[in-house]
Structure 1
Amino acid sequence: MDTISREQFLGLANVKSDRCITIYMPTHRSGFEVNEKQDRLLYKNILKNVEKQVLDSGGDKADIQQLLKPSYELLDDKEFWYKLDYGLALFITADSFLVKKLPISIKEEVYVNNTFYLTPIFPLLNNDIHFYVLAISKNATAFYRGTAFSIEELSIEGLPRGMDDVIHFEEKSGQRLFRAGGSPATGIGSAHGHDAGLADEEEYVAAYLKEVDQTLWKEKLGNEKAPLLLAGVAYMAAKYRQISRYGNIVPEYLAGNYERVDTHIIFEKSRNMMIPFLQKPVRSALANYYNNLGGGTSCDDFSKVITASFFGQVENLFVKERSHAWGKFDKDRNQVTLHTEKEYGDECLVNQAIIHTIQNGGNIYVLSEEEMPDAKLLVASLRY
């Protein structure tokens, strides 16, 4: 999976050229479609369609072939086609070629204009809304940072990999002894600063969990407020919750043993459980929009929203997913011209509204038709 930073998004938004080609297509991580090279075949057909579209608009064949040369060369990269995600995006000009593997499902779409079409990838910019996952058992510990679109295991210095990293057991002369970190067995010891002489299994587990908590607090969570989701058997999750000093542990937990579970499975399960948290910003923004309808700062007039976005007035922009509105905006005259079909020189005004809102520090929320206020293409909460 590739990430898209706000800076990279704005860089793409600022590109203007005689011919900017944007390609989106669905892909597959595994299965029949990968084995039978169906994604590669779809991509090849899309390139042929792009070539025809540019030719039909008056382009020179030799120039087009040169423009698409890096795109065709990608067909020969076998490793690339066996390591895809859920979607693919390409941004092509005569001077640049950028490919992004997307962690979101996306529909096939080709856009040829003097700017790139960026609306489908905007949701990927919301990676600052994150949560943590601690998968813990007696034999293993793993710590993750997750977002709505991805999860990654973090390397935390000093984090115990399991209980044996903290506590070791020996039997000697019929006596159960404690030792720390591979030191010679004694009746008294310390485990990374913890008291010795632990009485039973429960106390050993408690010492291990306390060491995990102290390490995470020191190395990562001490200045954090993001929610922490626990993954493990009921006893370990309950005990860690009791011991931990972190103040934002999610009440629910992922039940089970996650010692040998693929990261993708952990991502799917944790994301599903964290949906209410991930949706908090949009719910709050929508509530504010509805509260200010009728004379307030909320606006549902398409032309007024477009105008406001160009002049930096939009605080929150709500956009119906996969929507287009073809036309032009004359900034000097504050005039929006809309066409039912794309005409020569038109731009997608929805795309332009998103770009200008981001450039001016506003927030974007891409919603389904059912979630959109009055099923409109776009509405906004204005700053003034």
Structure 2
Amino acid sequence: MSVVKREIIEQLVSKTKDVNISIFIPTHKKGEEGKQDSIRLKNIIQKVKSELQNLGWKENRVEELFKDVYAKTEENQFWLHQDKGLALYVNEDYFDFFKIPVSPEENYYIAENFLITPLLELQNHHGIYHVLVLSQSETKMFKIAPDETLKVEFESVPTSMEEHLKYHVHERSVQQHSGASGGGAVFHGQGGEDDENNKELELFLKHIENKVTKYLKKENGPLILAGPDKLVAYYRKANKYSNLLDEALTGNADAKSVKDIEDEAWEIAQEYFRQDIDSDIERFNNLQQSELISTDIAEIVSSAYFGKVDTLFVPMGFRQFGAFDPEENRVEISDKLNGQTVDLINFAAVSALRTGSTLYGLQQSEVPKNSGLAAIYRYKS
């Protein structure tokens, strides 16, 4: 899971010069297609170079601009660990890049601002959550943050039924109920043994729950369960942690890789982290009869520039070109990008960011009224 925090985007906005280049290409994590990503980037950089030279840049100035880009992207390891997309930002004083979990349209943008709108959706991928993988053979918990996943180690608590039985059941009882004299006990249960086996399973999970809840009270954040329905049900019965999510990853989690667990758990966790977004969308809808909302792009561009926007909803992939004259407070809409026009959606986003607005990058269908841009105002003059 990739994330670009607001602070990073603010830094990006603060680094702008007169000419700023934003480059986006789709990438591949592995395979033959992945080998073509480097070639794809070189080709699009060549297009940027040609355009800069058409703008009057000397060849040595253009080559110097991309020196750091080439140094980084020609490293052997750079292309081995990609995501679905790559975003690069460069001007004469700055270079940075982001591996992004969405596949962007291959494109570049030369303007007075970096193109930040493709990064806004990545702000939604924030927050820390935990996944508790319930298993008789090995119960384990992962702390999942936007930039890393760590296994949480618990001391002084059995994490398997075998360990549990060693410490909590007399050897005679183990032999009686498992039919064995040694380790490797994983209960499946037959006939009259079921009740006793289930009691031990519940006790095992209760001990786990005590440790988990004690730990999470310091960490906070949502907890997601993963494992067979029976174990999930027993754990819920014992649970005392208030932020245990209702949805779980069902089935045998032992066979899943950590990456699979991350991906499946994020489908659940993102709904939790969308609460602020959903709340502000509801706030927009509740203001339908007031003048404090708008979906008029020209009006929003002006309002964002002058600091009137409280919350901005930005559709991913949508672009509207035009020009804004702040002295005349006039917005002109255009159907093309040229030396006299900019991406107005990006201009509004940059302005809103600079004036402390809340920004959400959303799919077009999620933006209020399915519009090209939507805003809640701080005030309307």
Q: Give the TM-score category using the shorter length.
A: 0.7 to 0.9
CA gap of 1:104–1:155, structure 2 versus 1, over 3 A, is farther
Q: Which residue of 2 aligns with 1:12?
A: 12
Select which of 140, 150, 155 maps to 2:152. 155
Matches within 5 A, 1:190-339: 200-222=196-218, 224=220, 226-274=221-269, 276-339=271-334
Structure 1, 317-326 or 89-98: larger mean CA deviation? 317-326
Question: TM-score by structure 1 length?
Answer: 0.82
CA deviations 1:237-271 (Å, max 9, x no partner) are: 11111111012323332112222422221133223
Aligned pairs, how many? Answer: 360
Paired with 2:156 and 2:271, the residues of 1 have a C-alpha distance of 29
Letter in 2 for 1:211: H
Considering Cα pairs closer than 8 Å and 6+ residues apart, tell me whether 1 or 2 has the greater RCO: 2
Paired with 2:218 and 2:285, the residues of 1 have a C-alpha distance of 37
Matches within 5 A, 1:26-105: 26-34=26-34, 37-105=35-103
Letter in 1 for 2:326: K
How far the C-alpha of 1:159 sits from its partner, in A, is 8.1
Structure 1, 64-73 or 112-121: larger mean CA deviation? 64-73
CA gap of 1:323–1:306, structure 2 versus 1, over 3 A, is same
Paired with 2:11 and 2:334, the residues of 1 have a C-alpha distance of 28
Asked if structure 2 preserves the Cα contact closer than 8 Å seen for 1:150 and 1:267, the reply is no
**Matched-pair identity in %:** 25
Gaps of 5+ in 1: 179-198
Gaps of 5+ in 2: 176-194
Paired with 1:156 and 1:69, the residues of 2 have a C-alpha distance of 44
Letter in 2 for 1:54: L
Structure 1, 282-291 or 25-34: larger mean CA deviation? 282-291
CA gap of 1:127–1:165, structure 2 versus 1, over 3 A, is farther
Q: Which residue of 1 aligns with 2:138?
A: 140
Paired with 1:49 and 1:160, the residues of 2 have a C-alpha distance of 60
CA gap of 1:4–1:244, structure 2 versus 1, over 3 A, is same
Paired with 2:156 and 2:139, the residues of 1 have a C-alpha distance of 8
The structure with the largest helix share of the pair is 2
CA gap of 1:244–1:313, structure 2 versus 1, over 3 A, is same
Q: Which residue of 1 aligns with 2:365?
A: 370
Asked if structure 2 preserves the Cα contact closer than 8 Å seen for 1:159 and 1:212, the reply is no
CA gap of 1:2–1:275, structure 2 versus 1, over 3 A, is closer
How far the C-alpha of 1:157 sits from its partner, in A, is 5.1
Paired with 1:121 and 1:78, the residues of 2 have a C-alpha distance of 26
Structure 1, 83-92 or 14-23: larger mean CA deviation? 14-23
Letter in 2 for 1:7: E
Q: Any idea what SS the aligned residue of 1:58 has?
A: coil
How far the C-alpha of 1:140 sits from its partner, in A, is 2.0
How far the C-alpha of 1:303 sits from its partner, in A, is 2.1
Paired with 1:290 and 1:30, the residues of 2 have a C-alpha distance of 44
CA deviations 1:284-339 (Å, max 9, x no partner) are: 32232222124341112222211221233222212222122333333344332333
Letter in 1 for 2:316: E
Asked if structure 2 preserves the Cα contact closer than 8 Å seen for 1:156 and 1:219, the reply is no
Q: Which residue of 2 aligns with 1:183?
A: none
Q: Any idea what SS the aligned residue of 2:336 has?
A: coil
Paired with 1:272 and 1:93, the residues of 2 have a C-alpha distance of 36
CA gap of 1:173–1:38, structure 2 versus 1, over 3 A, is closer
Letter in 2 for 1:57: L
Paired with 2:365 and 2:129, the residues of 1 have a C-alpha distance of 27
Question: TM-score by structure 2 length?
Answer: 0.83
Matches within 5 A, 1:339-378: 339-378=334-373
Letter in 2 for 1:235: K
